[in-house]
Structures are given as C-alpha cells and as structure tokens.
Amino acid sequence: MEKSKNKKNVRVNYGLAQKQVLANAGVKITFLRSKILAFAMDSKKPFSFEDVFLALRDTGIHRATIFRNLSLFKDAQILREVDMRQDAMFYEIATKGHHHHVVCKICGCVESFDMCGLDNLVEEFIKNSKEFDKISEHSFEMFGVCKKCYKKK
C-alpha cells in the first residue's frame, strides 16, 4: 500500500468512498484523514483513539493529529461520540443512524441495535419537566455480561 512518505512523484490512493465523504462534508482531503476515515468505515463497532493509533502506527501518525481529526469529524457530522463507560471516548460513523448499544462489562464487546423506541418516553419526560421544553438528544446504553464471558466463569 502506498505511503505519503515516498518522496516524490507518488500517486497516493486516497480511497474513493472516503474522498467522497470528506468532500461532501466540506473537509480537506489528506492522506491521514482518508486513512482514519477508512478505518472508521471498516470498523464493525465503536472505536477509540487507541484503536486508530494502533491501526495507523506504521504511518508514523502523531497522537495530536488523530485527536484533531476525530474532533473535526465529529463537528463535521462524519463521526459521532459514543459513551461506552470506559476511560476513553469512542466513535462511530454518524450516518449509521440513531441506535443503541449493549456493552459487556467484562470484555467490552458491543452489540448494536437499530431499534430505539424511546420517542414516546422522551415525550413523557418533556411533559413532566419544569425546566425543559425540548429534548434534542438522548443516550441509552445497556450493560451486562456477554454469553462468552458468562461461560468462562
């Protein structure tokens, strides 16, 4: 796979899909951004800074660059943050649509569900609220022990 390090006359493959997404979001296309985005698009579950860092360590990418781009992608609505109750923040592709997770309290594995079913309940909360007229977002994360971890005990 091509690397941007090769000094001159290099035709870098930025990836078609990633290029599309970045251009569409009005974000300048660079080698590292397309790499980070490619990783994000391939990932089957929410990922952390650490995951990106490990995946791209052979490019010599700097930590700050990853943080800056994750933050940029979040602002550009390319990624969204997911709170997994771990030390670090997790991310996932924002186009995946609203959904929720079940997280294993032991191994940290994640199962995603596209269903939500919370709109009625949110309405209920607003009706009873003294201080809020409108609720624009919600997070609903479930926690348990996955089948694999349960067997191991």
Partner DNA sequence: TGCCCAATGCGACCGAGTCGCATTTGGGAT
Partner DNA sequence: ATCCCAAATGCGACTCGGTCGCATTGGGCA
Task: Specify the residue, 9 or 120, whose C-beta has the smaller distance to a second copy.
Answer: 120
Draw the binding track, 124-153, toward Zn ion (x: CB under 5 A; -: no contact): ----------------------x--x----
Whichever of 39 and 67 has its CB closer to DNA, that residue is 67
Q: How far is the CB of 8 from DNA (least distance, A)?
A: 9
- Residue 152, C-beta contacts closer than 8 angstroms, at least 6 positions apart: none
x-or-dash string of contact with a second copy, 82-121, rule CB under 8 A: -x-x--------------x-x-xx---x-x-x-x-xx--x
State whether residue 20 is helix, strand or coil. helix
Binding partner selected for residue 107 from Zn ion, a second copy, DNA, none, CB under the kind-specific 5 to 8 Å limit = Zn ion
Residue 109 labeled ligand binder: no
Cα-based torsion angle of the residue sequence 88, 61, 74, 111 in order, rounded to the nearest 10 degrees: -50
The answer to whether 138 is annotated as binding is yes
User: Of 1, 19, 18, whose CA–CA distance to 10 is shortest?
Assistant: 1
Query: What distances in angstroms separate CA 101 from CA 1, 49, 132, 149, one per listed residue?
Result: 34, 19, 26, 17
d(CA 92, CA 145): 22
From a second copy, Zn ion, DNA, none, which one binds at residue 4 (CB under 5 to 8 Å depending on kind)? DNA
Instruction: Give the number of other CB atoms < 10 A from CB of residue 87.
Output: 7
Tell me the binding residues for Fe cation. Answer: 98, 138
**Binding positions for Zn(2+):** 104, 107, 146, 149
